[in-house]
Amino acid sequence: MPSIHYRTIFLNFLKLGCLAFGGPAAHLVFFHQTFVKQLNWLDDQQYVQLVALAQILPGPTSSQVGLAIGYVKKGYWGAILAWLGFTLPSALLMTLVALLGKQFSPLLSSAFFHSIQLIVLAVVTWAFWQMLRSFCTKLWQYILMLCSTLFIYTVSLPMNQIIVIFIAALLGIFFAQKISPTEENKVENSSLTDAISSTKRSYAYLWLVLFILPFFIFPVMDWLHSSVFTQSVESFYRTASLVFGGGHIILPFLHQDFVATGLLSAEKFDLGYAFSQLMPGPLFSFASYIGALTPLTPFPVLNACIATLAIFTPSFLLIFGTLPYWSWLMNQTYIRHAVVGINAAVVGLLLCMVIQMAQHYIVQLTDLLFVAVVIGLLKTKLPVWLCLIGSCLGYQLILTFL
């Protein structure tokens, strides 16, 4: 196969970044159709291996698959250009939403914001239901999910979500011992590992060292001089480093760090999250919106760039540090089952947020009925943007005539 130009990588991912609506599951279908079926950059086995690796790593699955494709084809710069092409459209749009929101949010009625809150509640509830069906298949996973919900709901600690994830990982490892060895599939070889030079494999562990370092550096910086900048960047980095199971899971983490601390109002947070559902590309671009509204520096566009880089940096470090060791990682039972436990726990985090949002947002029977209608629309094959915009306008009309 002839060498692929950097420009070709960027343009193909930019096209997907403009057209790939529907969330991570839909993105992976787009990637397969484009890079396996149409361009033949990968074969089916290699693509499945990339998806499997991304699923055991924290962070945005589809974005990590995309930058891994760029990495396999053209090294580090290929990964950067693949990520930039896929992320740029949604990041720009979310930054624009934030800047326009500053200008026009005073003109929006309280009824409009209430409708947005109910739509966010419906989207999060639907995401919770989908993740519950995917990640909780055994009794211990349901129990872990409910215990995680109860702990987060009742215990108010700055690190409560990290505590839950750590304990869930240990429980996942413990219950892995209960699974019969016949259920474990060993990976014999990896064509991906063969495609990566031995030079990159020899120092890939350094990327993992860089991934871990910020967890020690940020607390020291915060102790020496606490500021909105360091706290916000640390929040974005930590969130992306700990979340498994899709973009919706960043919501409880970012809500705790930006809304509960007063850096961002709940109304603006919900408005941005609602708009992020209408965008193509990765849901993690929600960070661009939050960054533009957070006083990291005097320049909102620069703030959006900083937030976007902070939330995606862990993905680069993890892919660069783990892809050369793909076969070894996929044969580690403890790693895979720690992720199973973490996935069950983060479903519990999402359930806790559903409960808390429902307590604040449901004020009358029509609100509950509206949420049910939006969830029903999301279950159909209608485009998400049509479901959300149509339901919002419809509810505004209903409230006007009631």
Say which residues have a Cβ less than 8 Å from residue 186's Cβ, sequence separation at least 6: 331
Q: Which residue has the tokens 């995917």?
A: 134
Question: Which class for 208: exposed (0-12), middle (13-18), buried (19 or more C-beta within 10 A)?
Answer: middle
pLDDT tens-digit map of 271-322: 999 888 888 889 999 999 999 999 999 999 999 999 999 999 999 999 999 9
pLDDT band at 193 (very low <50, low <70, confident <90, very high): low
Task: Write out pLDDT tens, residues 224-242.
Answer: 888 999 999 999 999 999 8
| Per-position DSSP letters for 353-402, written without gaps between them | HHHHHHHHH--SHHHHHHHHHHHHHHHSSS-HHHHHHHHHHHHHHHHHH-
Mean pLDDT for the stretch of residues 189-199 = 58
Q: What is the pLDDT of residue 182?
A: 46
pLDDT digits (tens, 9 = 90+) for 77-98: 999 999 999 999 999 999 999 9
Provide the residue ranges of all domains of the chain, joining segments of one domain with +: 110-401
The pTM score is: 0.84
pLDDT number for residue 186: 55
Going by pLDDT thresholds of 50, 70 and 90, the confidence category of residue 381 is confident
* Largest CA-CA distance found in the chain, in angstroms, rounded: 69
* pLDDT mean over 44-56: 85
Q: How confident is the model at residue 115 (pLDDT cuts 50, 70, 90)?
A: confident
Q: Greater confidence, 113 or 245?
A: 113
Does residue 1 register a pLDDT over 60? no
CA dist 243 and 229 (Å) reads: 22
pLDDT of residue 44: 86
Please say if the pLDDT value at position 365 is more than 80.
yes
pLDDT tens, residue by residue, 259-277: 989 999 988 999 999 888 8
CB 214 within 8 A of CB 230: no
Identify the band that residue 197 occupies on the pLDDT scale cut at 50, 70 and 90.
Answer: low
pLDDT of residue 402: 64
Q: Could you report the per-residue pLDDT of 122-169, keeping only the tens digit for each?
A: 888 988 898 898 888 899 999 999 999 999 899 877 678 888 988 998
Tens-place pLDDT, residues 61-72: 899 999 999 999
**Residue 88: both structure tokens together:** 């740029």
- Residue count of the chain, please give it: 402
- Number of continuous H segments (helices) and E segments (strands) in the chain: 20, 0
Task: Say how many CA atoms lie within 13 Å of 201 toward its Cβ.
Answer: 12
